[in-house]
């Protein structure tokens, strides 16, 4: 990929400086990895943003900042756009999404559900729209780390507990100075307190407290302290990685919920939380002298240790957010690929055909490979479900696909299953022949030409030849194509459809795709190409998984999670509307893949059994068309 990336930070007052600093660091790191990246700041805020960046994080080249979404005359087309906007307004989101795939970082607004991909660097609350990945390990983390959360020395009046108090660049409610003063007053002379308060250097009552101004990389200072007092945010997770114990005070109830959900220790919210700090860290001896509460501290260390392990922060970090995003190559259709055929990265189609997001994967904490991130949308017009990916699927159509992978799923290799597949092919040919009419009607005489796209090792081709057809295969796996050509003696082209097929004239009477159409990232283009090579009244036959079967009805989320990573679209038996758009009339649908053992509640009693109750449920599944796959037979009109 050579296209540029655009990073859009939150610049609004009252949101702190973390979003801007993080976005700038991401741009700098992406550029160091060879990716062209820019930071967006409106013209009115460009100078202020550059000033803040130079003060907070060192030099930042002004030419890396753009003030227009697409600079006039630049010819730039964004590979993708990263929004670190906290809560992106709806109109703004629509504008960005018109320019390319949009990735949200810690997005909390109502548009969260509409992002192409979501990355939560900070864990959110239960019930929120799930992200593709939640991983604090992708944050810009410190290089300096302590050996352990547990201190290597005893604290005393000589060896004081070194505390850093930091509540961000703005700290509107003033929790930082308040916490520093409260601790100093509760245990005079017992603590070594440092306050990082770049915007509140003149706050009164800070005598005896060390005050830091702007520190370019505060995270690198965390390991020098025995305790950090902060709120839920970037700094607390940086401290967990540095193995610096963290105790939180929440600015608002929302932050308190986030803290507790993340398994972190909080003193409470606002002023009451600040006032509680001293009583948590100290116990009062009979003489009224405060003594460090070692039981509380040991509990704090253990809980911090557990939280660090939970979020992938215990071990040495192996990659950054920039490393992660530098390897990303988003593959997605901006609209439904059959209703509004569109190439990736074009402007989005009407909202109805763009469809609502159904699911995002993976959704578990911890780092993940970019190739595993998937988002599914369902078209509001035709109902087709499509997958968007951050990177191409790790699937190769070679020998292992038909042997080790096939055996893992079906218990035998493809060639071992060959006789059963050929028998299934004869059943399918019965439906095809019933639609072809009299021999002269298709203009092909008695030897009707049949093309099997994705023919594998040719069981359907063999059955077609036995039934009097003149078959031809097309197969991307070189070994399988050679087997068809040499062992079966049937013509077979090695390659992908339609590029590998030389003809564009309507020369075939039948085109078949058995569990292939879902592998096309642009099925609309594939159907157009098939219509171009199929004679009038010729037959299109295909099979594919169905989300309308018992598995999809039982749990669509689980069904999509288990969907193979190279299945770009998922269909339902009601495909007549889709086929009609491309010049086909659906004549017959056969629902297949019936699995009584997958039924909710009763299914667990049917595993491994074929008794009367099994056959009753099987009959019910067939009656109500609850199979997990289906076959479609259509005629070109």
pLDDT of 443 higher than 60? no
Sequence-ordered list of residues with C-beta below 8 angstroms from that of 53, at least 6 positions apart, any chain: 20, 21, 24, 60
Supply φ then ψ for residue 330, to 5 degrees: -60, 130
Of 1-10, 34-43, 48-57, which has the strongest mean pLDDT? 34-43
Whether residues 524 and 599 share a domain: the answer is yes
Q: Which of the residue ranges 172-181, 199-208, 614-623 would you say has the lowest mean pLDDT?
A: 199-208
DSSP annotation of 180? H
621, 603 Cβ separation under 8 angstroms: no
Mean pLDDT, residues 23-27? 89
DSSP annotation of 204? S
Determine what percent of the chain is predicted with pLDDT higher than 90: 59
Distance CA 160, CA 301 (A): 17
Whether residues 112 and 225 share a domain: the answer is no
Report if residue 486 sits inside a domain.
yes
Distance CA 129, CA 111 (A): 10
Mean pLDDT of the chain: 88
What CATH number does the domain containing 36 carry? 3.40.50
pLDDT for res 444: 44
Q: Give first-to-last CA distance, the chain, whole Å.
A: 41
Report if residue 559 sits inside a domain.
yes
Mean pLDDT, residues 87-102? 91
- The neighbouring-strand residues paired with 228 are 164, 246
| 548-594 pLDDT per residue, tens | 999 999 999 999 999 988 899 999 998 899 999 999 999 999 999 99
| 477-504 pLDDT per residue, tens | 999 999 999 999 999 999 999 999 988 7
Report if residue 350 sits inside a domain.
no
Mean pLDDT, residues 434-446? 62
Distance CA 194, CA 382 (A): 61
DSSP annotation of 347? P
The residue count for the chain: 637
| 601-618 pLDDT per residue, tens | 998 888 877 889 999 999
Range of the domain at 71: 1-138
pLDDT of 223 higher than 70? yes
pLDDT of 434 higher than 90? yes
Burial class (CB in 10 A: 0-12, 13-18, 19+), 344: middle
Whether residues 196 and 306 share a domain: the answer is yes
pLDDT band of 204, cuts 50, 70, 90: low
pLDDT of 521 higher than 50? yes
pLDDT of 372 higher than 80? no
pLDDT for res 264: 97
Whether residues 98 and 230 share a domain: the answer is no
User: What are the counts of helices (DSSP H) followed by strands (DSSP E) for the chain?
Assistant: 20, 26
Whether residues 451 and 522 share a domain: the answer is yes
| 141-157 pLDDT per residue, tens | 999 999 999 998 888 87
What CATH number does the domain containing 296 carry? 3.40.50.2000
Domain-ending residue, one of 91, 107, 138: 138
Mean pLDDT, residues 165-171? 84
Whether residues 258 and 406 share a domain: the answer is no
Among 458, 632, 470, residue whose Cα is nearest residue 539: 632
174, 158 Cβ separation under 8 angstroms: no
Report if residue 352 sits inside a domain.
no
Report if residue 544 sits inside a domain.
yes
Mean pLDDT, residues 101-111? 92
User: What token pair was written down for 247?
Assistant: 């105790």
- The neighbouring-strand residues paired with 374 are 361, 389
SS (H, E, C) 12-45: CCCCCCHHHHHHHHHHHHHHHCCCCEEEECCHHH
pLDDT of 217 higher than 90? no
Report if residue 97 sits inside a domain.
yes
Report if residue 466 sits inside a domain.
yes
Distance CA 404, CA 482 (A): 19
pLDDT for res 345: 41
Domain count, the chain: 3
pLDDT of 72 higher than 90? no
Q: Residue with structure tokens 């030409």? A: 449
Query: For the stretch 300-335, what's the b/e string if a residue is b when 16 or more beta carbons lie within 10 angstroms of its beta carbon?
Result: bbebbbebbebbbbeeebeebbbbbbbbbebbbbbb
pLDDT band of 309, cuts 50, 70, 90: very high
pLDDT for res 314: 94
pLDDT for res 395: 67
| 110-130 pLDDT per residue, tens | 999 999 999 999 998 888 888
Distance CA 597, CA 621 (A): 11
Whether residues 430 and 544 share a domain: the answer is yes
Rg of the chain over CA atoms, in angstroms? 31
Among 522, 637, 547, 525, residue whose Cα is nearest residue 583: 637
What CATH number does the domain containing 585 carry? 3.40.50.150
Whether residues 165 and 105 share a domain: the answer is no
Distance CA 169, CA 199 (A): 6
pLDDT for res 77: 80
Report if residue 384 sits inside a domain.
no
pLDDT band of 350, cuts 50, 70, 90: low
pLDDT of 344 higher than 60? no
User: What token pair was written down for 324?
Assistant: 């992660």
CA distances from 409 to 401, 545, 560, 591, 631 (A): 11, 15, 17, 20, 20
| 449-483 pLDDT per residue, tens | 999 999 999 999 999 999 999 999 999 999 999 99
Whether residue 362 has a cis bond before it, omega within 30° of 0: yes
Whether residues 472 and 563 share a domain: the answer is yes
Distance CA 407, CA 413 (A): 5
User: What token pair was written down for 351?
Assistant: 């909202």
pLDDT band of 440, cuts 50, 70, 90: very low
Whether residues 106 and 13 share a domain: the answer is yes
pLDDT of 625 higher than 80? yes
The CB-side HSE value for 173 (13 A sphere, CA atoms) comes to: 16
pLDDT for res 89: 93
Q: Residue with structure tokens 């994080």? A: 57
Domain-ending residue, one of 106, 138, 170: 138
Whether residues 517 and 631 share a domain: the answer is yes
Domain-ending residue, one of 266, 284, 310: 310
H or E segment to which residue 313 belongs: none
Whether residues 483 and 578 share a domain: the answer is yes
Determine what percent of the chain is predicted with pLDDT higher than 70: 91
């Amino acid at each position: 990929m050579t296209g540029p990336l655009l990073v859009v930070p939150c610049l609004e007052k009252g949101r702190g400086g973390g979003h801007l600093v993080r976005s700038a660091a991401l741009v700098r790191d992406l550029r160091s990895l060879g990716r062209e990246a820019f930071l967006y700041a409106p013209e009115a805020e460009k100078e202020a943003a550059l000033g803040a960046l130079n003060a907070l994080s060192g030099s930042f080249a002004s030419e890396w900042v753009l003030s227009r979404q697409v600079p006039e005359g630049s010819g730039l087309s964004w590979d993708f756009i990263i929004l670190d906007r906290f809560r992106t307004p709806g109109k703004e989101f629509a504008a960005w999404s018109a320019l390319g795939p949009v990735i949200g970082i810690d997005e909390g607004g109502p548009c969260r559900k509409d992002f192409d991909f979501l990355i939560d660097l900070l864990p959110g609350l239960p019930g929120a729209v799930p992200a593709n990945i939640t991983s604090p390990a992708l944050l810009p983390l410190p290089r300096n780390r302590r050996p352990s959360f547990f201190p290597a020395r005893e604290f005393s009046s000589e060896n004081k507990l070194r505390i850093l108090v930091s509540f961000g660049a703005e700290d509107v409610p003033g929790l930082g100075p308040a916490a520093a003063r409260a601790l100093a007053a509760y245990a005079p002379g017992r603590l070594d307190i440092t306050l990082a308060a770049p915007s509140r250097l003149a706050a009164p009552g800070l005598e005896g407290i060390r005050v830091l101004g702007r520190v370019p990389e505060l995270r690198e200072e965390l390991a020098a302290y025995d305790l950090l007092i902060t709120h839920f945010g970037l700094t607390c997770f940086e401290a967990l990685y540095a193995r610096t114990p963290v105790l939180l005070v929440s600015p608002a109830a929302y932050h308190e919920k986030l803290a507790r959900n993340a398994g972190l220790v909080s003193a409470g919210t606002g002023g009451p939380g600040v006032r509680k700090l001293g009583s948590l860290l100290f116990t009062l001896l009979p003489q009224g002298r405060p003594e460090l509460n070692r039981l509380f501290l040991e509990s704090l260390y253990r809980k911090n240790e557990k939280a660090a392990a939970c979020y992938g922060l215990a071990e040495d970090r192996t990659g950054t957010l920039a490393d992660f995003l530098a390897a990303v190559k988003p593959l997605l259709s901006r609209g439904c690929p059959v209703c509004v055929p569109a190439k990736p990265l074009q402007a989005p189609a009407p909202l109805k055909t763009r469809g609502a997001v159904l699911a995002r994967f993976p959704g578990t904490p911890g780092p993940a490979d970019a190739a595993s991130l998937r988002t599914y949308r369902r078209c509001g017009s035709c109902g087709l479900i499509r997958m968007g990916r951050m990177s191409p699927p790790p699937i190769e159509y070679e020998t292992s696909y038909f042997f080790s992978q096939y055996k893992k799923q079906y218990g035998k290799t493809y060639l071992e299953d060959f006789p059963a597949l050929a028998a299934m092919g004869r059943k399918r040919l019965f439906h095809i022949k019933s639609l072809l009419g009299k021999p002269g009607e298709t203009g092909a005489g008695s030897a009707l030409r049949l093309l099997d796209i994705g023919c594998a090792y040719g069981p359907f081709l063999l059955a077609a030849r036995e039934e009097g057809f003149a078959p031809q295969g097309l197969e991307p796996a070189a070994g399988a194509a050679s087997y068809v050509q040499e062992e079966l003696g049937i013509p077979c082209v090695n390659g992908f459809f339609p590029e590998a097929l030389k003809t564009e004239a309507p020369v075939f009477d039948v085109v078949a795709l058995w569990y292939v159409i879902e592998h096309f990232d642009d099925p609309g283009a594939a159907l157009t190409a098939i219509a171009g090579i199929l004679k009038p009244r010729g037959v299109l036959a295909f099979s594919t998984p169905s989300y309308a079967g018992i598995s999809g009805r039982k749990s669509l989320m689980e069904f999509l999670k288990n969907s193979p990573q190279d299945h770009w679209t998922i269909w339902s038996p009601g495909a007549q509307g889709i086929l009609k758009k491309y010049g086909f009339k659906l004549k017959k649908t056969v629902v297949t893949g019936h699995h009584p053992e997958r039924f909710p509640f009763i299914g667990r009693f049917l595993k491994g059994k074929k008794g009367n109750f099994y056959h009753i449920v099987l009959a019910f599944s067939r009656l109500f068309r609850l199979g997990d796959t289906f076959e479609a037979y259509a005629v070109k009109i």
